[in-house]
Amino acid sequence: MLLKARLCVLLLALSWSVALLSEPARAQDDAEDAELDVEDDVTVGDEGDVEEEPAPRASAVPKVTYKAPEPKGEHYFAESFDRGTLDSWVLSKAKKDDIDEEIAKYDGKWEVEEMKDSKLPGDKGLVLKSRAKHHAISGLLLRPFVFNTKPLIVQYEVNFQTGIDCGGAYVKLLSQTPELDLDQFVDKTPYTIMFGPDKCGEDYKLHFIFRHKNPKTGEFEEKHVLKMLDFGRKTLYLQNTVVNSGNLLNDMTPAVNPPAEIEDPNDQKPEDWDERDEDAPAKVQDEEAVKPDGWLDDEPEYIGDPDALKPEDWDEDMDGEWEAPQVSNPACESAPGCGKWERPMIDNPNYKGKWKPPMIDNPNYQGVWKPRKISNPDFFEDLHPFRMSSFSAVGLELWSMSSDIFFDNFFITDDRNVAERWAEDGWGLKKAAEGAAEPGLMSQMVSAAEERPWLWVIYVLTVALPLILIFVFCCTGKKKPAAAEYKKTDEPQPDVKAETEEEEAKEEEPQGMKTELLLAILASTWHGPNNFFGG
């Protein structure tokens, strides 16, 4: 009975939810959008006076007015491209080494323009325009970023407007060196950090690489994040959400610090070392076997079908040399076999399995031999890998088979609050505009039904079915009498209380796993300068 009551409540809730579909479009009063400038269409006169147009219909969607983000605090780099020019950026004039002259130039085109199908008119960005071209563009920071006790925060927006086939959309933070020349920015230009998405074929990745200087040799080595984040076929969303985190000392490969000891390369196993390991194979060739008479050594078991014909549309330049399909060799049908004869395999009489030591001590047993350990001559210990080479420019050095990749709102700072305000004024405004442009659920349902009238039947059934089920479950069926309502009789009666308790126990669901999973998803922390996070 308790189960039936709960089912009734559930069905009532379902019917009420469907009825609410007819309410007006949902209110957009999220706290994160509270400061956004949302207003109705406004016309600005020649003298600067604002003239309001006639009040729009009740179903009109409010318009989100674009306002270029401005830095609100200390920062090293801020670019929204809303000036409409590339005046502060430098296009590379260099060529790549070791490739054909025809494709060596960095001649890919860049433009500043609005995003296709933009919901926020006036918002411009940097667009990679060319396919199958090398692109390189960079801009100087206001001042070099020097790694000390403050965090480094880098953020930018990217949108693959036409999808992505093969190519990257990562940024490089170019190291501050006397040789740095943005006119000659190429793939081998020294960088401090490389970060961003990359894809080719079915391989989706989010890179995080930093170049670490060996304090003993002075040479640089790339350190890749251990969790490379291979997303497979899934779409990657990094919208203000942590998708990776870790520690520079523990979560990079190769590790920042080498091992203190290594195996001695000059150490050799003594000749009398006893490992007592069985190495006899389980199967051996039967030496007593004799090749059957009539075995056709020179005849293959399969031959090309002599009746097969090459297709008329076969193009050897495109399809390769044509070969007839394989069929069984008719010459082998009457013979005991064809091809090279080999002795059959039999059980090895000397095979005893892997040797195990006896139950008494073996005076000669010394265990599995390993080279002795010696101090690593290349050992060093860098406990502060966050103190990387300072950088003075940000650059995009990309090759892509996709065009119209849209970049926007680059920002570099050491203050997380300043970065979050920039994100709210830039990406947050885009998010609000997209939300405002989405039609209400009721409007979508009506529009869909206008194109497909049969959907009205589904809508009616969606409302009517819960009501029918409520009537069936709540208003019909035989009532089960309580124990006190049974007539006097000597026959044993069911224990109603016990049955009810048993039903309730069966209906209970363990919730510990769900709570634990939610906590694992929601938990994220920031621990200090040697830690990093993505997203």
Higher-confidence position of 7 and 282? 282
Window from 298-307, 324-333, 412-421, 513-522 with minimum mean pLDDT: 513-522
Higher-confidence position of 362 and 39? 362
Distance CA 162, CA 525 (A): 35
Strand 110-114 relative to strand 153-160: parallel, antiparallel, unpaired?
Answer: unpaired
Using DSSP, state whether 516 is helix, strand or coil.
Answer: helix
CA 179 remoteness from chain centre: 36
Mean pLDDT of the chain: 76
Using DSSP, state whether 318 is helix, strand or coil.
Answer: helix
Taking 70 as the threshold, does the pLDDT of residue 308 lie above it? yes
Helix (H) or strand (E) holding 191: strand 191-200
- Residue 86: CB atoms within 10 A of its CB come to 16
Q: Own/partner pairs for 20-27, CB < 8 Å, 24+ apart?
A: 21/441, 21/442, 21/445, 22/442, 23/442, 24/58, 24/59, 24/440, 24/442, 25/59, 25/61, 25/439, 25/440, 25/441, 25/442, 25/443, 26/440, 26/441
Taking 70 as the threshold, does the pLDDT of residue 68 lie above it? yes
What letter represents residue 168's amino acid?
Answer: G
Cis-peptide, bond into residue 254, ω within 30° of zero: yes
pLDDT band of residue 475 (cuts 50, 70, 90) is low
Q: Which CA distances in Å does 141 have to 77, 144, 343, 394?
A: 5, 6, 75, 7
Taking 50 as the threshold, does the pLDDT of residue 274 lie above it? yes
> Cα 504–508–512 angle (5° rounding)?
160
Average pLDDT, stretch 293-319? 85
pLDDT band of residue 478 (cuts 50, 70, 90) is low
* Residue 52 CB partners (closer than 8 Å, separation 6+): 40, 42, 43
For residue 51, the cross-strand partners are 43
pLDDT band of residue 270 (cuts 50, 70, 90) is confident
Taking 90 as the threshold, does the pLDDT of residue 418 lie above it? yes
pLDDT band of residue 43 (cuts 50, 70, 90) is very low
Ramachandran category for residue 48: left, alpha or beta (phi over 0 → left; psi -120 to 50 → alpha)? left
423-439: pLDDT as tens digits: 999 988 888 888 776 66
Helix (H) or strand (E) holding 139: strand 133-145
Distance CA 530, CA 535 (A): 17
Window from 141-145, 411-415, 430-434, 502-506 with minimum mean pLDDT: 502-506
Higher-confidence position of 239 and 107? 107
Distance CA 207, CA 195 (A): 5
- Contact in structure between 282 and 347 (CB atoms under 8 Å): yes
Burial of 42 (0-12, 13-18, 19+ CB in 10 A): exposed
Question: What beta strand segments (E) does 291-403 contain?
Answer: 302-304, 326-328, 345-347, 373-375, 391-400
Nearest by Cα to 171 from 240, 89, 255, 245: 89
| Predicted local confidence at residue 103, as pLDDT | 83
| Predicted local confidence at residue 20, as pLDDT | 38
Enumerate the H helices of 59-166 as residue ranges: 101-104
Nearest by Cα to 57 from 73, 41, 70: 41
N-to-C CA span, the chain: 50
- Entry pTM: 0.58
Helix (H) or strand (E) holding 409: strand 405-413
Using DSSP, state whether 445 is helix, strand or coil.
Answer: helix
- Contact in structure between 284 and 346 (CB atoms under 8 Å): yes
- Contact in structure between 473 and 8 (CB atoms under 8 Å): yes
| Predicted local confidence at residue 238, as pLDDT | 57
* Residue 467 CB partners (closer than 8 Å, separation 6+): 15
Helix (H) or strand (E) holding 507: helix 496-507
What letter represents residue 491's amino acid?
Answer: E
Average pLDDT, stretch 227-246? 60
**Torsion of Cα atoms, 338 then 341 then 344 then 345, to 10°:** -120
Q: Which CA distances in Å does 397 have to 13, 182, 413?
A: 55, 11, 22
DSSP class per residue in 226-283: SS----TTSPP--SS---EEEETTTSEES-SSPPSEEE-TT----TT-B-------SE
338-375: pLDDT as tens digits: 988 888 888 877 766 665 555 666 666 677 888 999 99
Taking 70 as the threshold, does the pLDDT of residue 258 lie above it? yes
Distance CA 430, CA 408 (A): 11
Distance CA 388, CA 222 (A): 12
